[in-house]
Amino acid sequence: MRELLVRVSETAILPRYQNLTQSEIADKGKNELVTVADREAEVMLAEGLGAILPGLAIVGEEASEADPSVLDGLSQQCWIIDPIDGTGNFASGKPPFGILIALCEGGLTQAGWIYDPLEGRFCHAHRGEGAFIDGERITARTTGQTPPIAGISTLFMEDGLREKVQQHIAPHYSLVDIPRCAAEQYPRLALGTNDVSIFNRTLPWDHAAGVLWLNEAGGKAARNDGSEYRVDEWDRPGLIGAASPSLWDELAERVALIS
């Protein structure tokens, strides 16, 4: 897997970093961009993953944008691909951005990989086997700060919910900017950079790999009601990530008050 991600990065992604023309960037709407690098990387990843485990459904972000029926594969054993997570950053010529790959079955992630092409950081996890960075097993750690540090964006929240977050949640945390890149945000929750995050949109290519990896590291990522994140419930809003179960519980109690 690492060889595949490195090859795709060096072939389709990094040569276009800070080197895109305007004609190679398109607006998909809803604050979402796509570049020629996204599309080329997804094709390469799909081919490579098909060679690793032939016959599985492949659910790619860009393929599903072009053909929504691709999402039907989420109910099967499937690969999920986000060829460039953080496309907005990538298109602007700045970090962070990354590749997210998940292997899912029965609606649950069984394995996940998060690759940072600029830093070469390779995160991976298999269900029940722990979380790893560059081959070393890691354990999630908090920032140790009081109040806890929260990476929370209200960008995709409705106005009423945005106001409630500012009134009832923000005063209890030290709010920091989010990277607009799940491939960076999940590692931040495990590596002592952020303590908690709230995710409103829960698209499978953004969260399938990171949720498993953070949980395997000893943190906690789950739906607001504590239920397990399922990739076949991608249109269901609300997900909380935290560096520890206790931090998750504290934030979930506050979220429940505004839901």
Question: Hey, how many other C-beta atoms are within 10 angstroms of the C-beta on 218?
Answer: 16
Residue 44's pLDDT is 98
Peptide bond into 245 cis (omega under 30): no
- Binding residues for Mg(2+), as ranges, are 61, 82, 84-85, 206
pLDDT in tens, 76-113: 999 999 999 999 999 999 999 999 999 999 999 999 99
Please enumerate in sequence order all residues whose Cβ is within 8 A of that of 69, keeping only pairs 6 or more positions apart, or say none.
Answer: none
Quote the CA–CA distance of 139 and 218 in Å, as a whole number.
6
- Binding residues, as ranges, are 61, 82, 84-85, 206
Q: What are the angstrom distances between the C-alpha of 157 and each of 46, 140, 161, 199, 214?
A: 32, 28, 6, 9, 24
Beta sheet of 174-176, edge-to-edge order: 174-176, 149-152, 196-199, 239-242, 220-222
* C-alpha neighbours within 13 Å on the C-beta side of residue 245: 5
**pLDDT class of 164 with cuts at 50, 70, 90:** confident
Residue where the block lists tokens 């960037």: 25
Domains and CATH numbers, the chain: 2-138 (3.30.540.10), 149-258 (3.40.190.80)
Please enumerate in sequence order all residues whose Cβ is within 8 A of that of 119, keeping only pairs 6 or more positions apart, or say none.
Answer: none
Q: What are the angstrom distances between the C-alpha of 118 and each of 14, 17, 97, 220, 236?
A: 8, 10, 8, 27, 32
β-pairing, 78-85 vs 98-105, is antiparallel
pLDDT in tens, 165-204: 888 899 999 999 899 999 999 999 999 999 999 998 999 9
Statement: residue 254 has pLDDT above 90: yes
